[in-house]
């Protein structure tokens, strides 16, 4: 390839559209949910611990974002999301101690993904 072809390729318009914030959130939640589901099905507790940690980190970040005064979501939705973050925190502790199944966490994430779609 010569320099002229490289320049054309470098300055050519991109064919892939940029993702919206909603789509990025959907993708992140989807990846983490998939990891939890795979770990639950395979009964691999080490993988489940890692997926639960990722999920808890995600929900902590979501709660911080929702709680920020500049967040434009309606107050009722913000309150519900903060409640889900608290539920996730509490239930994750139980799942790590093997006192509860991680399946409800997958169900919460799946419901959120439906809402984002």
What's the pLDDT tens digit per position in 2-49?
Answer: 666 655 666 666 666 677 888 989 999 999 999 999 999 999 999 999
| Among 80, 89, 86, 68, CA closest to 112 | 80
DSSP state, 12?
A: S
pLDDT at 103 over 80: yes
Q: What is the pLDDT of residue 20?
A: 83
DSSP element (H, E) containing 65: helix 45-67
Query: What's the pTM?
Result: 0.81
Q: Which residues contact 92 (CB under 8 A, 6 or more apart)?
A: 52, 55, 56, 102, 105
What domains appear along the chain, each with residue ranges and CATH number?
18-116 (1.20.120)
């Amino acid at each position: 390839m010569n320099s002229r072809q490289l320049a054309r390729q470098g300055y050519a318009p991109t064919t892939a559209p940029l993702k919206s914030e909603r789509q990025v959130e959907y993708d992140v939640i989807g990846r983490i949910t998939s990891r939890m589901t795979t770990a639950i099905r395979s009964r691999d507790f080490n993988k489940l611990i890692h997926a639960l940690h990722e999920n808890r980190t995600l929900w902590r970040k979501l709660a911080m974002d929702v709680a920020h005064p500049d967040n434009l979501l309606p107050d009722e939705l913000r309150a519900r999301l903060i409640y889900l973050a608290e539920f996730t925190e509490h239930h994750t502790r139980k799942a790590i101690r093997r006192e509860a199944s991680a399946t409800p966490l997958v169900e919460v994430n799946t419901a959120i993904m439906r809402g984002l779609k």
